[in-house]
Amino acid sequence: MGMTMTQKIIAAHGGRDSVKAGELIRVDLDLVLGNDVTSPVAINEFEKAGFTKLFDKDKVVFVMDHFTPNKDINSAMLCKRARDFARKYAITHYYESGNVGVEHALLPEQGLVAPGEIIIGADSHTCTYGALGAYSTGVGSTDMAAGMYSGQAWFKVPSAIKFVLKGKLQPFVSGKDVILTIIGMIGVEGARYKSMEFTGEGLSSLSMDDRLCMANMAIEAGGKNGIFEVDDITLAYVKERVSRPFTVYKADEDAQYDEVYEIDLSQIQPTVAFPHLPENTRPVSQAGEVPIDQVVIGSCTNGRLEDMRAAAAVLKGRKVAAGVRCIIIPATPLIYRQSMDEGLFDIFMEAGCVISPPTCGPCLGGHMGILAEGERAVATTNRNFVGRMGHTGSEVYLASPAVAAASAVCGRIAQPDELDNGGRG
């Protein structure tokens, strides 16, 4: 019986010729990731277990991105705990302050993930790296601790759903609209503990930034992981960043899937997810009159350079509506510098936006944009649960950078084409 991409990667890392869905298997890991929230918990478990070494100091990554720059004493103590541990064990890839970025934008950019690898991270959006044809998934801090020590993890082999993409994206439509549409179609439990596998000729219409966004949000459909078939776009991206050998895995023609969906990208419209679940989607054209108080453009979902450009294309020559706060968060120092060099910051500031250093910040209700009771935000983040960005009486609407920027200008949820500005950013 044939195997999916994910199953092939798991089999190779478990020293097996083949695996099937439902099997339990121990695999070798290529990378273990933690952040300022989860690493200290993993460190506690690491020390409680009596571990005194890392399996490979080059393959453990700490990224201090959630509450940094430190917002209070507690967040400062969490970072100190991780920083001291990283120094003790000479962890090569420790990111904080001037070199920190939002972890799931930073790692691909730095060449720390590659096709065919297995990455675990104590953060649910670790599934982002499936955009590169890797098997990556979120784990708890205890599994992170075990992974730091042993370089291994146990998995139940997931079954899979296949998404065959065809057609080409229309203007103002991005990977964010595609994945929101899919989540709206299958629901937040539609892919529970399954691999979401993306393939088809429509891949050529999706940039790496689109794919990273889509893989990131596989968890919002309950997926164990999201993974894209490796093509020339993937290889071009990897070639610029990765020098080590890697293996590309392609699903067998007779691989078994629980469901197969065909998605015509040309039919996808700008989409928004209403509170309080990512599955509550509708086309922006059907959103109605929803006034807003805040817009956030950033996060591990949509804080990349294409996202900055898309927002700037809409905001250029325009002003953020009175009474609306618009926060722009480039996801890494490189994206920050590129945005500045391209003049995007001038556009943002002239429009009345505030520009934040790279941080997860408001996405999880951490800082840099907390909502008060009764406030509404349009955000390019990945979750809109009750109280996700602040008060439990606030509301979060998920959208693409273009929709978010248009909404900032209109003071309500709006389509970019309402502003007469043509093309994708």
* Residue 425 maps to a domain: no
Whether 26 and 165 share a structural domain = yes
pLDDT of 424: 38
Could you tell me if 316 and 425 are in contact, meaning their C-beta atoms sit under 8 angstroms apart? no
Whether 172 and 306 share a structural domain = no
Beta-carbon contacts of 59 under 8 Å, excluding residues fewer than 6 positions away, are 29, 30, 31, 32, 151
* Residue 424 maps to a domain: no
Whether 392 and 259 share a structural domain = no
Whether 332 and 206 share a structural domain = no
* Residue 327 maps to a domain: yes
Whether 393 and 330 share a structural domain = yes
Let me know if 87 is exposed, middle or buried by CB neighbors in 10 A (0-12, 13-18, 19+): exposed
Range of the domain at 299: 271-419
Distance CA 10, CA 305 (A): 32
Alpha helices, H only, 15-140: 39-48, 73-88, 103-109
pLDDT of 245: 96
pLDDT of 420: 66
Considering 216, 231, 265, which residue would you say is the last residue of a domain?
265
- Pick from 301, 295, 297, 106: which is nearest to 209 by CA? 301
Q: What percent of the chain has pLDDT over 70?
A: 99
Could you tell me if 300 and 382 are in contact, meaning their C-beta atoms sit under 8 angstroms apart? yes
pLDDT of 418: 80
Considering 219, 245, 265, which residue would you say is the last residue of a domain?
265
CA 321 to chain centre: 28
* Residue 106 maps to a domain: yes
Both tokens of 302, joined, read: 């949509």
pLDDT of 248: 97
Name the residue with higher pLDDT: 365 or 151. 151
Whether 160 and 146 share a structural domain = yes
Whether 28 and 159 share a structural domain = yes
Residue 16: band (very low, low, confident or very high) from pLDDT cuts 50, 70, 90? very high
Task: Report the CATH number at residue 348.
Answer: 3.30.499.10
Q: Does the pLDDT at position 363 exceed 70?
A: yes
Whether 203 and 298 share a structural domain = no
pTM equals 0.94
Q: What is the mean pLDDT of residues 255-261?
A: 96
Q: What is the largest CA-CA distance in the chain?
A: 62
Q: Which residues pair with 138 in a beta bridge?
A: 121
Considering 207, 236, 265, which residue would you say is the last residue of a domain?
265
| Domain count along the chain | 2
Could you tell me if 101 and 335 are in contact, meaning their C-beta atoms sit under 8 angstroms apart? yes
Q: Does the pLDDT at position 148 exceed 60?
A: yes
Instruction: Count the neighbouring beta carbons within 10 Å of the beta carbon of residue 323.
Output: 10
Whether 191 and 205 share a structural domain = yes
Q: What is the mean pLDDT of residues 15-41?
A: 97
Q: List the Cα angle 18/54/333 in 5-degree steps.
A: 90
Give the H/E segment covering residue 326.
strand 325-328
Q: What is the mean pLDDT of residues 313-334?
A: 97
Residue 300: band (very low, low, confident or very high) from pLDDT cuts 50, 70, 90? very high
CA 273 to chain centre: 16
Name the residue with higher pLDDT: 1 or 40. 40
Tokens 């972890």: give the residue: 103
Q: What is the pLDDT of residues 215-240, one digit of tens each?
A: 999 999 999 999 999 999 999 999 99
DSSP string, 359-380: --GGGGT-SSSPBPTT-EEEES
